[in-house]
Chains A and B, each alone.
Chain A
């Protein structure tokens, strides 16, 4: 039994290799086959020349059944049955036209993605425009293992395709298949989209990092308050607030207890240096630095990132984090 299984496995891999080889030969001989493998600039209209239509498995079964029925009806010269057979065959043909028209005229306008870290699921956002035919239904987007179903009723719809990421850096959008089996499921019409858009994937974060460098022995950032810092927000007193935060002058003016809350502990700086990471290898360094950047932002510290080629900072806030992570992601 196991011999049979290994035998079929070997046969299958052999067939796969032959198929690859045949595909290579075909692409060498017929450059038209590779026409759609290159990325294209947006917007990508789906026109007549890039839609492929084939019957589905159910369509083939239906064709066989219809052929048998037609042969029987022709043999017995049973005219109502023959009329029924021709009507069904013609309806199948009309559904082919409908499937084709469901795709034709569709236009991919925009592709984008929110930034995620490597290893998380990335949501690719695609903006489609409906073109002349406003109602398009049962459209399926597929890339590898990810797939989604969408329909276009108003003119434009943004669809989300969720796919897994494993590496950091710039990921091209890749080849996406848009297909439909509307209306009866007898024929499948599909087309390939290869937009020239790239998405950025941040490096994966290290899971158990050491604490941020530049912290004191107490394990807390030293907080110093200067005279020229920006305080602030003013809010009502809540029980449990430390007395040193009370704003006495304002309290006297307002008539109720007010507390001054300081926004960012200024002057707390963290320097994240590539060179000071010891014997770690490059990928581990990148992961640790990425985690530190995120942690620094979470604790509202100002960070400075020093990489072999660039120096970013000091700064804080989402823009700075994005710039740091981007630099880390694009490191060779």
Chain B
């Protein structure tokens, strides 16, 4: 005992100025934590910059392992260089991702300067901050899993760094790592009840105090506010979901699933852009004209959409929504817009009609907008349209001719040739191939030349039905562009030129376009369904929980008002329950010895203690057995033999077989104190 004491007790005179230097093991733990914290953040940064950061981190780890220090003359220019590289990677613009890149760079550089416990603590705290920065960019379950692993590592490193003396037992290196990680994981698990209570019951902000800064780098993939030839090709290869829809009632046919996005009106010869009037909303009191009329002609469809973040203000809805859901506005052209860019998941319920009469009376100056074309472009098309008009001026005939021409002589391809200055001329007369963008653009130009008001509508077409969970997924690859043509007394009519060229695309969705899938592609179908279902539940349960859902949760507990007192009450009760669970787990009596025979002996001792003869700490089994024999004479013989056998097993250098140990264990477990026989008045028994 004193040997152990002398090993574990060391004199540490601690003057206040200096602190003990860092151990090599602690440095390695630190480096591992920083790598783990950089991983989730690295997912959303520019790849080249990520490589640079990891390279620096590796070099710094090497230096720290050898316990050599890089001179300050090298470190300072390196810092400036890396900061400059961060700005360069994001085009010298400030944004959320620039901040994340700078944070990652500083974390990696800090590895070069770890010398004291204070440095270790600060770098671990900032790596926790880096995890939060990662969540601001990407909230997928993968990021969450990586962040959780990094948290366990950070907590284990904190514990290891705060340790003052080595633990009394002698564990091997690998055993030490495992035990540290296990201890950290157990600590976090103990803390889980209170964390869950806080997550669900801590009052949420209904409106944010300040807005999220935008990203400086590439904007998210998705429909933009403008369309040029070639823009949508990027989207066709993106299979990630853009919307998840749940229909209440009978869903429409695949060919009627047109999802309305931004409507593009102004053409400059190459590019279509939105009208400046887009943000004048129908329910705006200061609207210049009366809102366009929308008359439903068929039954309405109810549905709920969860839209992935787009960083833009539009909200996709089925063509045409009857009214704007809560907190949204409907523009004059029938698209839904929110007040702020959607940087987070949006969930909304809407109601649409698939057959309708939309704006049957078009005011004159708006008519001009929808007929406007830039002068000097596309002369051949103009000549063609003039020729057709001469033959038959009615809009139906013109449309039929154009669509017929498309169907007969044009092909659908997602890799068309490039177009020149007169893009429509090139498309119609030279290349005669393209995809939805080209057809829609050309069709609207032709209609406008024929004095028929027309506009381009972008959005999505079709959906993929996920059998698990029974909902519909609209992917980015379903992006589509079609047209709307204004007819007298009928209002805006949807015309999709792509259906003339490739009807299968509309009937069966984008899958009709790809050839027969290879074996692993067919396997990918169910896998995609399962993973998307998981993602949807992750979105619903974890990501979508906001202030409104918290109010619903409180309703379950019977609190209607949502006042501060109610919040405090429910939070206090929840926290109390969580703390009770935590304390119960913390204060568990330590388990007995692991060996089953020792446990059996411990039970044997417990029974004897219960009978009134507890074993003192200084007594060995045999001495104790003698004491018990004198106190409980009825059980004396049994106790003596059991104690002798146990002492022989435990202390004698005689090997006992497994069967003998098992027999001894059973005997110990079966032992019961013999009650003293009661002498009756009639005589002895």
Contacts and interface: CB of A to CB of B under 8 A. Distances in A.
A140 B196 CA distance: 35
B132 A72 contact: yes
A137 B545 contact: no
Interface in B156-209: 158-159, 161-165, 167-169, 183, 187-188, 190-196, 198-199, 202, 204-205, 208-209
Contacts of B194: 86, 90, 93-94
A94 B582 contact: yes
B240 interface: no
Given A76-B344, A83-B195, A138 B14 contact: no
B210 A158 contact: no
A101 interface: yes
A138 B12 CA distance: 13
Contact of B212 (A76, A151, A158): A76
Given A58-B121, A61-B125, A87-B192, A151 B586 contact: no
Q: How large is the interface on A (under 10, 10 to 19, 20 to 34, 35 or more residues)?
A: 35 or more
Contact of B163 (A77, A138, A154, A156): A138
A97 B586 contact: yes
Interface residues of B, number: 70
A149 B169 contact: no
B5 A159 contact: yes
B141 to A, nearest CB: 9
B11 interface: yes
Nearest to B117: A185
A101 B190 CA distance: 15
A181 B165 CA distance: 12
A97 B582 contact: yes
A133 B194 CA distance: 24
A22 interface: no
Interface in A227-262: none
Contact of A77 (B4, B9, B344): B344
Given A79-B543, A80-B543, A147 B583 contact: no
Interface string A125-146: 0000000111001101000011
Contacts of A158: 1-2, 5, 9
A162 B11 contact: yes
Contacts of B167: 137, 151, 153
B210 A91 contact: no
B159 A183 contact: yes
B9 A79 contact: no
A95 interface: yes
A79 B199 CA distance: 8
Nearest to B210: A75
B128 A145 contact: no
A90 B587 CA distance: 17
Contacts of B436: none
B144 A80 contact: yes
Contacts of B344: 76-78
B471 to A, nearest CB: 21
A102 B523 CA distance: 55
Contacts of B228: none
5 contacts: A76-B343, A80-B144, A97-B586, A157-B9, A183-B183
Given A80-B135, A87-B195, 8 more contacts: A76-B212, A86-B202, A88-B128, A89-B195, A94-B191, A154-B168, A157-B4, A183-B187
Interface of A: 58, 61-62, 65, 69, 72-91, 93-95, 97-98, 101, 132-134, 137-138, 140, 145-160, 162, 181-185
- Would you list the 4 A-B pairs with minimal beta carbon distance, nearest first? A153-B168, A185-B162, A90-B191, A81-B135
